[in-house]
Amino acid sequence: MIKKTVNNVQEAIEGVQDGMTFMLGGFGLCGIPENAIAELVQQNIRDITCISNNAGVDDFGLGLLLQKKQIKKMISSYVGENAEFERQMLSEELEVELTPQGTLAAKCQAAQQGFPAIYTPAGYGTEVSMGKETREFEGKMYVLEEAYKADFAFVKAWKGDEAGNLIFKGTARNFNPCMCGAAKITVAEVEELVPAGELDPNQIHIPGIFVQRIFQGKNYEKRIEQRTVKAKN
């Protein structure tokens, strides 16, 4: 029986080094690999390049790595609610590559599927396309975008089994699934880890072939980035 479980987050991130490139799943503060991020902070891994939709907030998510200036380059779709990210970007302390959200997801998918590059119309005629090959297809211009190359992909799932099969919940399905298998090593942390065979095959979003290590996460905060409801009187 295939078994990809590791005992803890320390074993899960074994092999990480300064200067590596990491993919980190999640959307806003939803579905982010909290345990892996905390351990990267604890181990003081530095000069890293992070590929993530956004950079969390000042004191949570990737914001924790930014606070300690462990990130050399940030590849994301927007600055978001992180004032420290904005400050480091404007002061040029941090190298930032802003990418259209759909293109970011597609470049992860390209890496996952083994494609070296993709053509996309997003960003043509803007700064996004500067220095990149462009080509016309059926009267419409496209930009050639190379697939991402990463050493580790850190993702967070709702449920997983010992064989690495994953189920995501709600908005956490944004960016987590497309990062699985898109790096040399994919590490999945899950809220609930079950024996192989317990998950309904029809409910599985990512098969275990895309995951190298899986562990039971703990102490999830699951913060809400912006509340849009008011308390009842």
pLDDT value at 78 more than 90: no
Instruction: Let me know if residue 136 belongs to a domain.
Output: no
Domain with 97 in it = 18-117+149-214
Cβ-in-10-Å burial (0-12, 13-18, 19+) of 46 comes to middle
Give the CATH number of the domain where residue 49 resides: 3.40.1080.10
Model confidence, pTM: 0.92
Instruction: Let me know if residue 185 belongs to a domain.
Output: yes
Q: Which pLDDT score, from 0 to 100, does residue 172 have?
A: 87
Backbone angles phi, psi at 215, to 5 degrees: -150, 160
CA–CA separation, 188 and 179 (whole Å)? 10
Instruction: Let me know if residue 190 belongs to a domain.
Output: yes
Q: Strand 140-146 relative to strand 134-137: parallel, antiparallel, unpaired?
A: antiparallel
| pLDDT one-digit tens code per residue, 190-211 | 999 999 999 999 999 999 999 9
Q: Phi-psi bin for 136: left (phi > 0), alpha (psi -120 to 50), beta? A: beta
Structure tokens of 87? 């400050």
CA–CA separation, 124 and 26 (whole Å)? 27
More confident residue, 38 or 223: 38
Instruction: Let me know if residue 159 belongs to a domain.
Output: yes
Q: Which pLDDT score, from 0 to 100, does residue 205 have?
A: 97
Instruction: Let me know if residue 123 belongs to a domain.
Output: no
- Model confidence at 44, pLDDT cuts 50, 70, 90, reads very high
Instruction: Let me know if residue 8 belongs to a domain.
Output: no
Instruction: Let me know if residue 143 belongs to a domain.
Output: no
Instruction: Let me know if residue 155 belongs to a domain.
Output: yes
CA–CA separation, 119 and 103 (whole Å)? 10
CB atoms within 10 A of CB 81: 19
Query: Structural domain tally of the chain?
Result: 1
CA–CA separation, 60 and 58 (whole Å)? 6
Within 13 A of 155's CA, how many CA atoms are on the CB side?
35
Nearest residue to 23 via CA among 43, 50, 48, 44: 50
What's the rounded mean pLDDT across residues 10-24? Answer: 97
Question: Is residue 210 within 8 Å of 178, Cβ to Cβ?
Answer: no
